[in-house]
Amino acid sequence: MTILLQTKRLIIRSWIPESDAEQAFVIYSDPEVTHFLGKASCAASVESQRQRLIEGIERSRRRNNGTGSWAIVEKKTTTIVGTILLKQLPDKDSLPTQDYEVGWHLRRASWGQGYATEAGQVMLNYGFSVLNLPVIYAVVKPENHASIRVTERLGMKPIGRTNKYYGIELLLFQLNAPVKIDGE
Ligand SMILES: CC(C)(COP(=O)(O)OP(=O)(O)OC[C@H]1O[C@@H](n2cnc3c(N)ncnc32)[C@H](O)[C@@H]1OP(=O)(O)O)[C@@H](O)C(=O)NCCC(=O)NCCS
């Protein structure tokens, strides 16, 4: 298991398909969680969820650019409470663009505790300081108010609507890398 990042309450680590599929299935079989996500996110069975975790790890390995999707683990219970991702946004034909997005999915039982904001913050820091990205975006369906509030808490700037990604109209939020002081 590879730990990528830690916060006060959370560990961000790589997925382990053999042992994590059940907990990932809890997240992606819940219609309340998948309501605003694409059909591809919905899991039909633990086994298909396991297969998707395997494919995700394989995709990250192929890209080999530090991006991917990670499990958010609650330190006090060691439970997987969600997913945090940092990856290239796909264009309307699902081809990767040069724009990077941060994203968050929490299991229903873990909403309302600030975990998406806490994981999002450390993932943005990672994108700027480790991957050296100049800007990171978030794309959100206009009706997904809970996710819009996460972008606000993270200080991301609303840019308006866009059709550039995923082949649908989405709200776009942007955060620029902090300005570097000479010598840093
Ligand atoms: C989007 C989603 C991750 C937001 O979850 P969330 O729990 O509302 O967001 P956070 O984890 O940042 O928690 C913030 C909430 O916890 C509360 N909170 C409690 N303790 C907190 C703490 N220590 N720090 C910050 N917030 C805290 C905040 O008041 C806030 O609640 P409010 O919005 O009612 O005011 C969640 O709704 C989800 O998983 N949705 C399904 C997947 C999805 O649509 N993802 C986004 C795709 S774009």
Tell me what pLDDT residue 181 has: 76
Tell me what pLDDT residue 184 has: 61
Which among 102, 115, 147 is the best mutation to test ligand 1's pocket, defined by most ligand atoms within 8 Å of the CB?
A: 147
Buried b (16+ CB within 10 A) or exposed e, 59-81: ebeeeeeebbbbbbbbeeeeebb
Evaluate whether residue 18 is within a structural domain. Answer: yes
* Domains contained in the chain, number: 1
Residue 24: pLDDT over 80: yes
Q: Tokens for 38, please give them.
A: 């694409």
Average pLDDT over residues 28-41: 92
Does the CB atom of residue 166 touch ligand 1 within 6 A?
no
Does the CB atom of residue 111 touch ligand 1 within 6 A?
yes
The span from the CA of 117 to the CA of 151, in Å, is 8
Evaluate whether residue 60 is within a structural domain. Answer: yes
Does the CB atom of residue 115 touch ligand 1 within 6 A?
yes
Does the CB atom of residue 113 touch ligand 1 within 6 A?
yes
The span from the CA of 78 to the CA of 72, in Å, is 10
Which among 29, 36, 121, 149 is the best mutation to test ligand 1's pocket, defined by most ligand atoms within 8 Å of the CB?
A: 149
Does the CB atom of residue 112 touch ligand 1 within 6 A?
yes
Evaluate whether residue 181 is within a structural domain. Answer: no
Evaluate whether residue 22 is within a structural domain. Answer: yes
Evaluate whether residue 184 is within a structural domain. Answer: no
**Residue range 110-140, pLDDT digits in tens:** 999 999 999 999 999 999 999 999 999 999 9
Residue 162: pLDDT over 70: yes
Task: Quote the longest CA-to-CA distance of the chain.
Answer: 52
**Residue range 71-98, pLDDT digits in tens:** 999 999 999 999 999 999 999 999 999 9
Atom of ligand 1 nearest to the CA of 36: 44
Tell me what pLDDT residue 40 has: 83
Evaluate whether residue 87 is within a structural domain. Answer: yes
Position 183 confidence tier, pLDDT thresholds 50, 70, 90: low
Evaluate whether residue 12 is within a structural domain. Answer: yes
Answer for the pair 21, 47: CB distance below 8 angstroms, yes or no.
yes
Does the CB atom of residue 104 touch ligand 1 within 6 A?
yes
Evaluate whether residue 101 is within a structural domain. Answer: yes
Q: Tokens for 86, please give them.
A: 């940092």
Give the Å distance between the CA of 99 and the centre of ligand 1.
24
Q: Which CATH number is 151's domain given?
A: 3.40.630.30
Backbone angle region of 183, left / alpha / beta, with phi > 0 → left and psi within -120 to 50 → alpha? left
Containing structural domain, residue 145? 3-176
Atom of ligand 1 nearest to the CA of 153: 12
Give the Å distance between the CA of 86 and the centre of ligand 1.
18
